[in-house]
Amino acid sequence: MLMRRGLTGATVAALLLATAGTTPSVGYVPTKRYRNCRALNRAYPHGVGRPGARDKTSGRPVKNFRVNRSVYTQNTHLDRDHDGVACEKH
């Protein structure tokens, strides 16, 4: 019984050492900081906003922007009217 626990611990330690320094799992995409709205709108055609954001406008508000807290947080410099939606367009 004691030997089995040691083998399991050694196996776990070997796996941890083997995977140290590897890249994150498939599907992980780091959040990108865009230089300007033109670049952001290539990836998010109607803009990107934080959860609960509402487009502040005198006309018809944009409702089809992508909600993504991490992308918005990296690109708050592109939210010129400070309404929680960066680079919104119809």
The tokens for 21 are: 């320094």
pLDDT of 2 over the 60 cut: no
Task: Give the mean pLDDT of 14-33.
Answer: 63
Say what the pLDDT of residue 11 is.
65
User: What angle (nearest 5°) sits at the alpha carbon of residue 67, between those of residues 41 and 77?
Assistant: 55
Q: How confident is the model at residue 8 (pLDDT cuts 50, 70, 90)?
A: low
**pTM attached to this predicted model:** 0.64
Task: Give the mean pLDDT of 32-45.
Answer: 96
The tokens for 83 are: 């309404």
Q: How confident is the model at residue 31 (pLDDT cuts 50, 70, 90)?
A: confident
Burial class (CB in 10 A: 0-12, 13-18, 19+), 12: exposed
Report d(CA 52, CA 31) in Å as an integer: 20
Q: How confident is the model at residue 88 (pLDDT cuts 50, 70, 90)?
A: very high
